[in-house]
Structure 1
């Protein structure tokens, strides 16, 4: 067997690819938006808050990143169709989808209202399904394959008290990726994988990063890597999954969780 040097040199090259990133103003979505943009990708950032999206897009453009934004609720079909249409109008194609939008509100099942549980399912599952449906249709129409990266969670395979919404939703995301891999990969060359983070730094989790707190100390006992996550930890895996280096991977639930599943 002979390995071509150009093949190796371009293995992780994503320059020129067009990506839609949902939940782009969140910690993980923002990190991936910058990571993709600085790697030479064109990014369409989307979410529900236009003011935040506008600021994010301005910051990306300051780094000479080709960026546009489109406002929309990922759980609303018409909004998702609009985001996909805007992306096609702006960039002419879609090569990568990252679904980083999500929501959680932990509560005991007997106290949680059905409407709140449904909000978790809509934000995490329905929104992901809708973007897969409409982006997938464009990728199939383009006939050039594609990369779909669904943001799941370490909680997709490990239950937790108060998490009957979130764990159920993320377990569904894992199976959605596996089902879509069976549906798309052989026929259309569209790879579908998840990354499964544990706790990482964000506005909602900053309180957990106090090294003197018992919450922090207890959580670290479960993390062989010895620290909690940072948003930047997910840039590498997302570039890998967007590149040709991951062409033989599909339907995988990839642990990017500091060893949490191992302990």
Structure 2
């Protein structure tokens, strides 16, 4: 007979006092996750390239009693990444959660896209994630208490699209990075998974929410019948950061309103 204890169930999603690094923290999804982790009791290190945006978010979260700090850093610059990791360990004593939301896209037909632009997208989405995994993973391994690494993929990592010869391959790469690191780090108790969102409300996508024609066309692929809001992203971030996902590694969870189902 299997019996699940109440204390076990109650602790499944508990991330109180866990130390979380959120890259790309001032983007809409990064910001939502940062608030989610903070309200759940985690200590949150915010990082990204814009000091003004980081400072504003940091002040807003501190005003709500959240234990957080921020470090400016470019995720594709190795020295910046190392500094974020070192300063986080210095302030909070370790790292339990790494959420890599930093990334970019600039859709353009391959015949019109310069190699440098393609490379910038690949660097932002793949290299930056790889660098954070490398240095945060070392800390998690040395701590001896495991950790949770969460990468951000996309539904577009599964599907092609006009103008996406940089973005879609970069996100497919994130899916396989999660699988490969899961194989490397399983023995150390480090879980590595990815989140695959579809279109969520942001500064870049607000036009789709306001354009009836574009929104209606996109909604024909969404069984849930609406576009994603940043709040829809928080639950899976907490799940993958908590004990509830201890037997889940090397997979991509799609938060896409059913986009890939049809």
Q: Could you say which TM-score interval applies, normalised by the shorter chain?
A: over 0.9
Q: Which residue of structure 2 lines up, in the alignment, with residue 6 of structure 1?
A: 7
Normalising by structure 2, we get a TM-score of 0.99
Q: Which residue of structure 1 lines up, in the alignment, with residue 197 of structure 2?
A: 197
Name the CA distance, whole Å, in 2 between partners of 1:90 and 1:50: 19
Consecutive aligned runs of 4 or more in structure 1 exceeding 3 Å deviation: none
Give the CA deviation at 1:117: 0.2
Give the CA deviation at 1:5: 1.4
Name the CA distance, whole Å, in 1 between partners of 2:196 and 2:56: 28
Cα deviations across residues 179-234 of structure 1 (Å, max 9, x unaligned)?
A: 0000001x101000001000000001000002x52110100000000000011111
Cα deviations across residues 125-167 of structure 1 (Å, max 9, x unaligned)?
A: 0000000000000000000000011011000010101000000
Q: Which residue of structure 2 lines up, in the alignment, with residue 28 of structure 1?
A: 29
Matches within 5 A, 1:1-263: 1-185=2-186, 187-210=187-210, 213-263=212-262
Give the CA deviation at 1:2: 2.1
Name the CA distance, whole Å, in 1 between partners of 2:145 and 2:136: 13
Give the CA deviation at 1:3: 1.5
SS class of match (2:254):
strand
Structure 1 vs Structure 2 CA RMSD: 0.6
Name the CA distance, whole Å, in 2 between partners of 1:68 and 1:141: 23
SS class of match (2:44):
strand
Name the CA distance, whole Å, in 2 between partners of 1:105 and 1:72: 21
Q: Which runs of 5+ in 2 are unaligned?
A: none
Give the CA deviation at 1:256: 0.6
Give the CA deviation at 1:9: 1.0
Name the CA distance, whole Å, in 1 between partners of 2:219 and 2:114: 32
SS class of match (1:214):
helix
Q: How many residues align?
A: 261
Name the CA distance, whole Å, in 1 between partners of 2:14 and 2:44: 15
Cα deviations across residues 4-52 of structure 1 (Å, max 9, x unaligned)?
A: 2111111111111000000000000000000000000000000001111
Name the CA distance, whole Å, in 2 between partners of 1:23 and 1:125: 13
